Amino acid sequence: MLLVHLTLDPPPGGEPLPHDIGSLLRACATREDGLEHVSVHAAAAPWPVVGVFLGRTDLASAEVAAERLWRRAVARRPRLAAWRLRRAEAPLLRPELLRPDGGET
Amino acid sequence: MLDVLGLDAATDAVYREMLAHPDDGVTELCRRTGLAEGAVHTALDRLSEMALIRPASGDARRLHAVRPHLAMEILLARKQAEVAAQQQQLEESRAAAVRLISEFAGDDPEASRDDVEHLRGLDNIRDHLAVMNKAVRSELMTFAPGGPQTADNMRNSRPLTQELLGRGVAIRTIYLDSIRNDPATVAHAEWLTSVGAQVRAVPTLPNRMIIADRRVAIMATDCDDTADGAIVIRTPGVLATLCSLFETTWQAAEPFAAPVQPPAEDALTPQQHEALRLLAQGATDETVAKRLGVSPRTARRISTALMAHLDARSRFQAGVHAVQRGLFGD
């Protein structure tokens, strides 16, 4: 299972992400996507982020699937097109970066 | 490990299982961690959040979004995850080995379901081999490098061999060509053939290894010191590879009973050819001796014969002549 972060550019009005974005994505997912979990980080700075956990082990295919899932959600609810998808990328899951000593490389 | 980082126990457990079992989904994570589905989802939220933020340098309270990630960074993170997973696997293997020893009195060699186990020391290896011999049902494939066995060892192995053959287990063993020089070993090999085992020989073998039923392999962790420790492997992909290596070697090996074919006038013996290949790889006479299972003196004799055959007065010239004659293939 891999985590892909969908990083979104909000519309100029600074409108918040629809509160049901998680369930919308779940409803748009196909069996092939292998969507296991959605985490919404609407208040993340500087851009809102939606984390999707996909039942895949190949990074590239997970990123492609996440992006496709977002496109499908936009198709189903055209208003979402106001949020531009900046990127669909697997983030670093590196808890050691939260160490008190920083762990910066 | 992670609790020092301030991760709660559930998130820690979910993270570890995700690293160790990349194929798992939420359902499997629930089963592995014993957590309720809601708790696993909460842990995943926490992990996604952790991937999002990191402390700004100098101020742990201010949080920054992680910058756009370079592919290299992701690869590095993946590598770290792999290392962590391997580390966990190693710990599990150790635990499994301890469990195996404690369970050895029982008759259930399948009690341990781990893919890889490490065995330390000759006693553990012998114990494990005993379990394997008891459990094997259809086939034993063996790489048996090293010099001749002691007469006692060979005699002691006979009842077991007969018992296995009686149970219908097919036995194939590959020795080194060099044991043809040891009359006792030759007699033993002939005995093996007479009772129905198949025996072949090759100039060199990569390591000591036994494969049972194409499902379990046990091999030395150090091919230069086979008594030091062994590794037991049940991973299907690795087993398929090892079986294929065995079959390839078997095809290339000479039946033990048959005399080695006298070399054509211009050809090297398989042993000379192998010595030449090893020398070309930079091996010393000592290494050549070890790999061919002969004494250093014999290895030097093989080298000398090789040089005479190549009409060379120095090793360097021998190398040049060997190349000129195309003896290294492609």
CATH of residue A52: 3.30.70
- What pLDDT does A83 receive? 92
* Domains (range + CATH), chain B: 3-67 (1.10.10.10), 115-255 (3.30.870.10), 270-324 (1.10.10.10)
**Closest residue on chain B to A99 (Cα):** B5
Residue A97 counted as domain residue: no
pLDDT confidence band for A102 (50 / 70 / 90)? very low
Residue A25 counted as domain residue: yes
Which tokens belong to B20?
């160790």
- Longest alpha-carbon distance in chain A: 45
What mean pLDDT comes out for the span B164-189?
Answer: 86
Burial of A69 (0-12, 13-18, 19+ CB in 10 A): buried
Query: Residues of B with CB below 8 A from A26's CB?
Result: none
- What pLDDT does B216 receive? 92
Residue A103 counted as domain residue: no
Chain A residues in contact with chain B using a Cβ-Cβ cutoff of 8 Å: 1-3, 5, 34, 36-37, 39, 41, 44-47, 49, 51, 53, 55, 57, 59, 87, 89-100, 102, 104
Q: What is the CB neighbour count within 10 angstroms for residue A39?
A: 22
Q: Choose the closest CB to A59 out of B44, B48, B74.
A: B74
**Closest residue on chain B to A49 (Cα):** B52
What is the residue whose two structure tokens read 């007469």? B151
Residue A98 counted as domain residue: no
What mean pLDDT comes out for the span B310-327?
Answer: 80
Which tokens belong to A1?
């299972």
Is the pTM of the predicted complex or chain greater than 0.90?
A: no
Distance CA B135, CA B151 (A): 26
CB B171 within 8 A of CB B197: yes
Residue A100 counted as domain residue: no
- Shortest distance, CA A57 to any CA of chain B (angstroms): 6
pLDDT confidence band for B120 (50 / 70 / 90)? confident
Residue A11 counted as domain residue: yes
Q: How many distinct structural domains can be found in chain A?
A: 1
Q: Which comes out higher in pLDDT, residue B101 or A105?
A: B101
Domain of residue A35 covers 2-92
Check CB contact of B114 with chain A, cutoff 8 Å.
no
Residue A69 counted as domain residue: yes
Residue A78 counted as domain residue: yes
Taking CB atoms within 8 Å and a gap of at least 24, the contacts of B265-272 are B268/B306, B268/B309, B268/B327, B270/B177, B270/B202, B270/B203, B271/B177, B271/B178, B271/B203, B271/B302, B272/B302, B272/B305, B272/B306, B272/B309
Q: Which of B17-31, B53-67, B136-150, B286-300 has the lowest mean pLDDT?
A: B53-67
Query: Which helix (H) or strand (E) covers residue A54, if one does?
Result: strand A49-54
Range ranked top by mean pLDDT from B57-66, B200-209, B218-227, B249-258: B200-209
- What pLDDT does B102 receive? 59
Which neighbouring-strand residues pair with B54?
B64
- What pLDDT does B101 receive? 61
